[in-house]
C-alpha cells in the first residue's frame, strides 16, 4: 500500500486543501507483514470522513485502516471537512460541494480509481457519520452504499454543543436536505437509493438518536443493516466497526 498526501486546490472552497489517500501498490515484492491484493483494473474507492474534533489524519492515527484496506485491495480517500458538518455553510466554505462533488473528480484525475457507482462507497464517524449518510442519500448516483458509525443522527437536537450558526445561520433552520430523517423519506422511492449501514455503541450519548434513525430506515424500503453492541463514543469502537463496514461494503455480508 502507498500513502499519498495530496495537496490540491479546491474550486468550491477557493483554497488549498490536503487529503490523505491510501492506494494499493501493484509491485511490492519483499514487503513484509501486509497483504497485497492490488488488482490490474481500476480500484474501488472508499471516502472516509472524520469527526468534529479531528481532521483528515485521524483515521490513520487511531486505527489500522491501511492494513484493513490492504486486505481488499481498495483505495481509501480521507478528506478534511474541518467543523463544517459537511455542508455548504451559511458563513463558511462549501464543504458539501467540495467533498460530495468536486473531490471525487479530483481523485479520478490523479489516481487509478473506478468511476462506477457500484465501486464507490462513503463512511464516517460521528460528524463524519452524519456526512456520509447525508452524502450517500443525496448523491446516490455516485455512491452505492454509505455507512455511519456513531453518527450525529439528529442534527436538529437543540442540546448539542456544535457550531450551528456558522453552518445554518442565526435562525438555525435545518433544511430538509440536511436532515437525515427527511432525506430517508425523500429518497425512499429512488431506484438507485444506496445501501445503508449504521453502527452505534449502547453506551454512546447519541445512542437513542441512532435508534430513532434506525427505526426510520426500517420503516422504509432501504437495503439496511444496523449493528449495536457495548461501546461508547470512542476509537476502540470505531476501529472495530470500520472492519465490519468494509466487509459489509465489499462482501455484502449482514451482521
For residues 174 and 161, which has the higher predicted lDDT (pLDDT)? 174
Please give the mean pLDDT across all residues of the chain: 95
Query: Is 82 within 8 Å of 95 (Cβ atoms)?
Result: yes
pLDDT digits (tens, 9 = 90+) for 204-234: 999 999 999 999 999 999 999 999 999 999 9
CA 215 – CA 237 distance, rounded (Å): 22
- pLDDT above 70 covers what percent of the chain? 98
Buried b (16+ CB within 10 A) or exposed e, 126-163: bbbbbbbbbbbbbbbebbbbbbbbbbbbbbbeeeeeee
pLDDT at position 36: 77
Average the pLDDT over 90-99 and give the result.
Answer: 97
Domain ranges of the chain: 2-251
Three-class SS state of 81? coil
Average the pLDDT over 147-173 and give the result.
Answer: 90
- Which residues, in sequence order, are CB contacts of 205 under 8 Å at separation 6+? 233
- pLDDT above 90 covers what percent of the chain? 87
Which three three-digit cell numbers place residue 67? 492494513
* H runs (alpha helix) in the chain: 58-62, 65-72, 95-96, 103-110, 127-138, 164-168, 180-186, 207-218, 235-251
Three-class SS state of 40? coil
DSSP state of 118: G
DSSP lists the bridge partners of residue 49 as: 124
* Dihedral angle computed from the Cα positions of residues 211, 200, 89 and 103, in that order, rounded to the nearest 10 degrees: -130
Three-class SS state of 75? strand
DSSP state of 124: E
DSSP lists the bridge partners of residue 201 as: 229
Confidence of residue 157 (pLDDT cuts 50, 70, 90): confident
Query: Is 127 within 8 Å of 99 (Cβ atoms)?
Result: no
pLDDT at position 29: 67
Q: Is 3.40.50.1820 the CATH classification of the domain at 2-251? A: yes
pLDDT digits (tens, 9 = 90+) for 36-72: 787 789 999 999 999 999 999 999 999 999 999 999 9
Query: Is 145 within 8 Å of 121 (Cβ atoms)?
Result: yes
Amino acid at each position: 500500500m502507498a500513502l499519498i498526501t495530496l495537496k490540491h486546490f479546491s474550486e468550491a472552497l477557493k483554497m488549498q486543501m490536503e487529503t490523505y489517500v491510501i492506494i494499493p501498490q501493484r509491485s511490492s515484492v519483499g514487503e513484509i507483514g501486509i497483504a497485497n491484493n492490488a488488482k490490474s483494473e481500476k480500484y474501488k474507492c472508499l471516502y472516509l470522513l472524520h469527526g468534529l474534533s479531528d481532521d483528515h489524519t485521524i483515521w490513520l492515527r487511531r486505527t489500522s485502516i491501511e492494513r484493513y484496506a490492504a486486505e481488499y485491495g481498495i483505495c481509501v480517500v480521507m478528506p478534511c471537512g474541518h467543523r463544517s458538518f459537511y455542508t455548504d455553510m451559511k458563513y463558511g466554505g462549501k464543504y458539501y460541494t467540495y467533498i460530495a462533488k468536486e473531490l471525487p473528480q479530483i481523485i479520478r484525475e490523479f489516481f487509478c480509481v473506478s468511476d462506477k457507482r457500484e465501486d464507490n462507497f462513503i463512511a464516517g464517524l460521528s460528524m463524519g457519520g452524519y456526512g456520509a449518510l447525508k452524502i450517500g442519500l443525496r448523491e446516490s448516483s455516485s455512491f452505492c452504499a454509505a455507512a455511519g458509525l456513531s453518527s450525529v443522527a439528529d442534527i436538529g437536537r437543540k442540546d448539542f454543543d456544535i457550531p450551528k450558526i456558522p453552518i445554518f445561520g442565526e435562525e438555525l433552520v435545518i433544511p430538509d436536505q440536511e436532515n437525515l430523517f427527511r432525506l430517508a423519506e425523500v429518497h425512499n422511492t429512488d431506484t438507485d437509493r444506496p445501501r445503508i449501514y449504521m453502527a452505534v455503541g449502547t453506551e454512546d450519548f447519541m445512542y437513542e438518536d441512532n435508534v430513532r434513525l434506525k427505526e426510520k430506515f426500517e420503516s422504509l424500503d432501504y437495503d439496511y443493516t444496523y449493528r449495536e453492541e457495548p461501546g461508547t463514543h470512542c476509537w476502540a469502537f470505531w476501529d472495530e466497526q470500520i472492519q465490519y463496514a468494509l466487509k459489509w461494503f465489499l462482501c455484502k455480508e449482514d451482521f
